[in-house]
Structure 1
Amino acid sequence: MSGEEAHQKSMADSAWLEELQLPQVLISERVRSLHATIEQEWDYLRRSACQTAAGRALWNHVIHDPLAAVLAGESYLRSLYEKMRQDRLSNAREVSGVILAVRTLWFDSRIEAAINSFGDRGAHQVVLLGAGMDARAYRLSCLKESIVFEVDFPELLQIKASLLKEMMASSKDQQIVMIAKSLVRVAADLREGDWIEELQKRGFVPTRNTVWVLEGILYYLSHLHAMQVLEVIAANCNLTHTVLLADFMNKSSVSLSNSTFHFYSDWPDHLLPTLGYCHVKLSQLGDPDAHFGLLHDPQNLFNKLRSLPRSMETHPEDGTPCRRLYLVEASGGPSQDS
């Protein structure tokens, strides 16, 4: 690590240890009421959207997401902040939330690259399946010419819209504006077979170049439902230039919580070509395109796993399961030369 990198790391460490500063709007009666509904009525799958937003809010030295804190809510921010603070104080090799930070940055970069790959081929769409509390339509400049669709449970989209409304109404220091060309929220359950029809009813055009974003969603689905989603998207490759961006857990990762996680693939780069995707690139956390300067320590969990064959199920040093998260980009098109 160079002297400049060490200085930057020291500054970042100091920032983590500062008292958590919450946006004023979080303590408003309306926002507190909305987050109370989330705590009381949502299941773990829906609440995981707030956990993801908390990660983006608290890793704000690498992710610029001014809406994330309000979408996360106070309880999730405080919980993750305390874990991060303890990790920093104990010099942990992996600070809590770093997976969310790397994952977010990888998807951001690949969305931009996918849009650029369309060139001048006309209008394009970006579909966020299981969008949760994602605010990319408000923060990614690469989406300025994109028609963005957010697909998720109706009650989640409704509360998200209400939180954003409160945030925009209370924002005095900076104006919160949508960057995407347009944003369409589609209420649908990916476990139901009609989600693609609901998407089309709201203006999705199957023949238009499309980026499909499946961040942090596939492993919550059953094997049957996850495969159905992947097959529906793969069918789009027969109609237009199609890019799939998704993260996959391996079997050992799913075993972390058999009641929460279900679908897994140890070899998604072998699976996707059988469905119709002609180009597949797989990355692991810590790879050159999937660390973003956040995983320097060669002895951190992710770098140690990368040095082992993917077929190895347990670590030879301590016998622990080799739990991996794969970041996968797949593409295809009618001519299969995309």
Structure 2
Amino acid sequence: MSMDEGKRMEDDLELKLPELLMSEAVQSLHAIVDHQWDSLQHSACQTAAGRALWNHVIHDPVAEILAGKSFLRSLYEKMKMDKLNNAHEVSGVILAVRTLWFDSKLEAAIDSFGDGESQVVLLGAGMDARAYRLSCLKESSVYEVDFAEVLQIKAALLHEVTQSPKHRHIEIKAKALVRVPADISDGDWIEKLKRSGFVPERKTIWVLEGILYYLHHLHAMQVLQSIAANCSVTQTVLLADFMNKSSAALSTSTFHFYNDWPDHLLPTLGFSSVKLSQIGDPDARFGLLPDPQNLFDKLRSLPRSIQTNPEDGTPCRRLYLVEASGFPNQTIS
């Protein structure tokens, strides 16, 4: 690569932060995030940063503001180095693919319900802005469940966005948006959801993106069992991602729950249909993995039972994207 080409590439990768992100109000809110939130809560901003910096495929008009400067800059620097070094996969691609997979499966599930109002529950909603960016939610009530402090900061940031002259066109696309302050590791989150207007008998899609593996095993299983119980009441769809054991071992202080065979687990809880994908599968690549030597395609070529890559001895760290469904009077095979 010539010097001129290198300079051009650096210019192309220059991070341009929106003016609103520099406002005193937004900076003061993100100061709270940076200094008072824990690793689980920070993961919400990391996900928003991924959506913001992969904006050529994910059109999220508020992701930059929800992510904040520190998370945007951190991911940006990693992406810049990956591109300059011609890496097989660029940092954040897993967040981009995961987001697009959840978006596509959510839209398909809503379509499958046919006419009539449906409900979408985002557990551990974090900085998710689907209610503001997905038109498929126009007939759906969206419930965002998360810690009170997360929902409060998020609402305050979105208020700053919608009050800004440049962003006043941004509005909620869902039929309704309800924020439910609750800790899903606490047993009463379902009751709080109901008190907020959730109707158990109404067709529901449950979205658990980037949350299960932060829960301890007992709490994760209780959440999955609570959702599965809804299958006996109404048509129910679960969209979730699962780490395998090797992935969870990356940080034993951060990740707790794992399952190497979620497609075997979920039918035992009450789901009649379970479909599993890995990053790089036909429904989980979205043209974002052009290098044939990318890590995800290498993993897909190995049986899921193999824990260690025979080529280089590295752990086979996998993320499973899982769609499960059930309905009253179903037959579980």
Deviation at 1:268, TM superposition (A): 0.1
| Cα pair 1:132 1:156 within 8 Å, conserved | yes
TM-score, structure 2 normalization:
0.96
Q: Secondary structure at the match of 1:172?
A: helix
Deviation at 1:296, TM superposition (A): 1.9
Indicate whether 1:284 and 2:275 are aligned: no
Of residues 297-306 and 242-251 in structure 1, the stretch that sits farther from structure 2 once superposed is: 297-306
Equivalent positions of 1:234-245 (< 5 A) are: 234-245=228-239
- Aligned partner of 2:302 in structure 1 is 308
| Cα pair 1:16 1:84 within 8 Å, conserved | no
Q: 1:195 aligns with which of 189, 195, 199?
A: 189
- Aligned partner of 1:327 in structure 2 is 321
Identity of aligned residues (%): 73
| Cα pair 1:286 1:295 within 8 Å, conserved | yes
Q: CA RMSD in A?
A: 1.5
Equivalent positions of 1:80-159 (< 5 A) are: 80-120=75-115, 122-159=116-153
- Aligned partner of 1:297 in structure 2 is 291
Indicate whether 1:272 and 2:266 are aligned: yes
CA distance in 1 between partners of 2:66 and 2:276 (Å): 30
| Cα pair 2:216 2:257 within 8 Å, conserved | yes
| Cα displacement string for residues 268-311 of structure 1 (whole angstroms, at most 9, x for unaligned residues) | 00000000000000000000000000012221100000000000
Q: 1:170 aligns with which of 164, 169, 191?
A: 164
| Cα pair 1:126 1:149 within 8 Å, conserved | yes
CA distance in 2 between partners of 1:173 and 1:210 (Å): 31
| Cα displacement string for residues 171-228 of structure 1 (whole angstroms, at most 9, x for unaligned residues) | 4266111100000000000110000000000000000000000000000000000000
CA distance in 2 between partners of 1:112 and 1:220 (Å): 26
- Aligned partner of 2:24 in structure 1 is 29
| Cα displacement string for residues 117-155 of structure 1 (whole angstroms, at most 9, x for unaligned residues) | 1012x2210000000000000000100110000000000
Give unpaired runs (5+ residues) of structure 1.
1-9
- Aligned partner of 2:177 in structure 1 is 183
Indicate whether 1:250 and 2:244 are aligned: yes
Q: Secondary structure at the match of 1:99?
A: helix
**What code does the residue aligned with 2:111 have?**
N
TM-score, structure 1 normalization:
0.94
Change in Cα spacing, 1:15 to 1:135, as seen in structure 2 (3 Å) is farther
CA distance in 2 between partners of 1:30 and 1:192 (Å): 32
Say how many residue pairs are matched: 326
**What code does the residue aligned with 1:280 have?**
V
CA distance in 1 between partners of 2:43 and 2:191 (Å): 26
Q: Secondary structure at the match of 1:56?
A: helix
Give unpaired runs (5+ residues) of structure 2.
none
CA distance in 2 between partners of 1:226 and 1:17 (Å): 42
| Cα pair 2:60 2:129 within 8 Å, conserved | yes
Change in Cα spacing, 1:241 to 1:14, as seen in structure 2 (3 Å) is farther
Q: Secondary structure at the match of 1:272?
A: helix
CA distance in 2 between partners of 1:173 and 1:188 (Å): 29
Deviation at 1:335, TM superposition (A): 2.7
Q: Secondary structure at the match of 1:165?
A: helix
